[in-house]
Structure 1
Amino acid sequence: MLKSFADLSTPLVADACVRAGVPLRVVPPGIGAVVGGHRIAGRVLPVRHYGSVDVFLEAFGRAEPDDVLVIDNGGRRDEACVGDLAVLEAQATGVAGVVIWGLHRDSPELAAIGLPVFSYGSYPPGPVRLDEREPEALESARFGPHLVSADDIVFGDEDGVLFVAAERADEVLATAHRIRDTEREQARRIGAGETLRRQTAFDDYLARRAADPAYTFRRHLRRIGGAIEE
């Protein structure tokens, strides 16, 4: 999956979801990689954190190669739920990355380990609580407004993180590649002196909109094969 995502981006995947009619499930803004430039793409390995690392160790027992551990820590800002030992164990298990709805710690060690880790930032203290575990602890994870499971694929890069249902992932990636090709060609033509207004027949769009106020720019782009808004 990471190979298929290698020359794409989360904005392209998001646009592809819109075009393909796939629910757009983007995590709340602010999440980022501990090491700039790291990217992730893989099947979700969900886990809910309750204050103890044992739930992570149990999740690793269910991991498939190149899964991405997605941790539901409720978006908490008062504790870091992942540090160097958990990430080392993830790497040893064959997990391709870690995405945390919450915070991490041990930033220099995580950078040295090299496994992609995405979170909302760093915070020195670990958890000092131990909450009651839910039955779904290893079946699904919440991330902002979204509930994800092993039936989902997670994508992440410098623009953020989003989830796509596994059964639609190939379709979404194929659409994203088509959008990328269109946009690259548009960028090439701008560099060659052909403005985007000319490429998109913008004067024609304005004339059509004047005659039909319901004629939108997105409809116009679809008619002429453009991609700038998707």
Structure 2
Amino acid sequence: MDDAIWDLPVRGSLPAAPDPALVAGLSRISSATACAKLHAQGIRRTFIEGPRPIAPGQKLAGRVRTLQFMPQREDIASGLGQEYVERHTALWHVLEDIRPGDVLVVQAYGSAYTGCFGDMLVRYFKRRGGAGIVVDGRIRDLPRVSGLGVPIWCTGATPHYASQAELFPWAYDVPVAVGGSLALPGDLCVADDDGAVVVPLRRAASVLDAAADHEQWELFSRGRIEEGATLSDYYPLTPETRAEFERWRDVKESQ
């Protein structure tokens, strides 16, 4: 890329690492709860539509690092040369800078022809201590990648390498659009079998506070419904059953 007309890769900025207690708290709540509590605060587009877990039972929470693919334009960048070109791109650069606990969130437009990661790259990501990967696109080497134990959400598999088709690894630690959601470097991500959710860093503490109350009253309501109570009385709580729940919670906390 000696004669490139645009300097690549583009690198943005990365905020300081979040409080580990915040990440630990988010790891204990579901993506559904995080999504619902953000929606109650007016943050509506947090679900990353499209990517699914490559194995059931995966769960993660961590700081968002971002990778942005862009359409190829041959006078700037193409996939010719495969790894010899790719290792100078944002893809290699972000992997070299992954910190323990980071979640790599990737904008790839849901492309069926771009294998954003394969065995070697995921293996290196794991060695760097990455917590997991959420790709609005596909991966390759699926059997070997599945055996590495790295939590990954993606839209499927492809035999292509990262720059073989219409996209090119362009930038990292920049805002990205993934599955209809905006993810910023330094945001947090929660993901499980229901999918992946972006949690704005400044909202994380309030999400945790709301989630603690929500999960407690759901536990209470679940028990009452199992005992034969009416759904509309306990899900959601009415003012009367809310008072009942608070008495139940007080007893539990005093035990």
Task: Please give the TM-score of this superposition, normalised by the length of structure 1.
Answer: 0.78
| Amino acid across the alignment from 2:34 | V
Q: How does 1:1-80 map to 2 (within 5 A)?
A: 3-28=24-49, 30-49=50-69, 52=86, 54-80=89-115
Give me the whole-angstrom Cα distance separating, in 1, the residues matched to 2:117 and 2:48.
19
Distance in 2 of aligned mates of 1:70 and 1:97: 9
Q: 1:144 aligns with which of 179, 184, 193?
A: 179
Q: Structure 1 residues 223, 79: closer, same or farther in 2, change over 3 A?
A: farther
Q: CA deviation at 1:19?
A: 2.4
CA shift for structure 1 position 117: 0.9
**Aligned counterpart in structure 1 of residue 125 of structure 2, from 90, 95, 102:** 90
Distance 1:8 1:133 in 2: 32
Q: Deviations over 1:49-75 (max 9, x none)?
A: 355354222113333320101111121
- The question of whether the paired residues in 1 share the 8 Å contact of 2:107 and 2:136 is answered with yes
What's the secondary structure of 2:66's corresponding residue?
Answer: strand
Whether the 8 Å contact between 1:20 and 1:175 is mirrored in structure 2 is no
CA distance in 2, matches of 1:6, 1:133: 29
Q: Secondary structure at the match of 1:82?
A: coil
The one-letter amino acid of 1:8's match is I
Gap runs ≥5 in structure 1: 201-217
Alpha-carbon distance between aligned partners in 2 of 1:108 and 1:149, rounded to the nearest angstrom:
31
Residue 221 of structure 1: CA displacement? 4.6
Counterpart secondary structure, 2:130: coil
| Whole-angstrom distance in 2 between the partners of 1:79 and 1:132 | 9
The answer (yes or no) to whether the contact 2:126–2:150 under 8 Å persists in 1 is yes
- The residue type equivalent to 1:177 in the other structure is A
Shift of 1:129: 4.2
Work out the CA distance in 1 between the residues paired with 2:125 and 2:30. 24
Show the counterpart of 2:196. 161
What is the number of equivalent residue pairs in this alignment?
Answer: 206
Q: Equivalents in 1 of 2:51, 2:168: separation in Å?
A: 27
**1:96-142 deviation line (CA, Å, top 9, x unaligned):** 111101011212111211011110111222241476765x5432222
C-alpha distance in structure 2 between counterparts of 1:223 and 1:24, whole Å = 33
Q: How big is the shift at 1:145?
A: 2.6
8 Å Cα contact 1:56/1:86 also seen in 2: no
Contact 2:108–2:136 (Cα < 8 Å) also in 1: yes
Task: Provide the aligned C-alpha RMSD in A.
Answer: 2.6
Q: Displacement of 1:223 after TM fit? A: 8.4
- Uncovered stretches (5+) of structure 2, i.e. residues with no partner: 1-21, 71-78, 80-85, 244-255
Q: Helix, strand or coil for the counterpart of 2:160?
A: coil
Pairwise CA distance, 1:2: 5.3
Q: Secondary structure at the match of 1:113?
A: coil
* Paired residue type of 1:128: Q
The 1:79–1:150 alpha-carbon spacing in structure 2 relative to 1, beyond 3 Å, is closer
Q: TM-score, normalised by structure 2?
A: 0.71
1:138-217 equivalent positions in 2, closer than 5 A: 138-199=173-234
Compared CA separation, residues 8 and 128, structure 1 to 2 (3 A)? same
1:101 aligns with 2:136: yes
Percent identity of equivalent pairs: 24
Q: CA deviation at 1:198?
A: 3.8
Cα contact 2:59–2:192 (8 A) shared by 1 = yes
Which residue identity lines up with residue 182 of structure 2 in the other structure? L
> Secondary structure of 1:115's partner?
coil
